[in-house]
Amino acid sequence: MIAIIDYGLGNLGSIANMLKVIGEKSVITSDPEKIKNADKLILPGVGAFDAGMTQLSERGLISILQEETMQKGKPILGICLGMQLLGRKSEEGTLPGLGLIPFDNIRFRIDPESGLKVPHMGWDVVRFEQSSPLLEGIEGTQRYYFVHSYHAVCDAQENCLMTCDYGYDFTAAVVKDNMMGVQFHPEKSHNFGMRLLENFARRC
């Protein structure tokens, strides 16, 4: 059973529906006991960094997520804002993140003369920077749907799972042991996203 963390932000129903299509059971919940009993966790998110951390705090979920993932080794997948919350902090806010993976989030430093706009929005191509069960069996050009103004900057290359080019190369996915996150929305990325979620459910 996969627990999709409900903290008031995110495309919860879309993620649950895609998991259902691939034959995986899930529950949308903020119940600590259901989170503890789940085999895997998905932390979605749309919105601002501090709002996300505040919502997690008000539901008493910060310490539970840290314990289940860092201490017990339960797999977790952060999506969009959910990925950013896996890090230490963000230029978007002042609150500390979950601190599960050593990275910080910064706003895009786009050259005004490039013609590119922030947020980075729409379909874009990613590059795999290392092997991972999350990417097993996935070949060819991979395109995913992005909507974000901030991106991760990892302390070490070993925590960068994917990169994407938007004015410059940025980290599009992060990983550390059982903990991983993607900046894009797999639930909006059709077959590309479906395969990635299938790998998370069955291989991670």
As annotated, the active-site residues are: 80, 185, 187
Extract long-range pairs of 172-176: CB within 8 Å, 24+ residues apart. 172/126, 172/144, 172/146, 173/83, 173/126, 173/134, 174/78, 174/83, 174/86, 174/87, 174/101, 174/103, 175/101, 175/130, 175/132, 175/134, 176/100, 176/101, 176/102
Give the closest residue to 91 by CA, choosing from 138, 136, 152: 152
Which strand (E) or helix (H) includes residue 161? strand 160-165
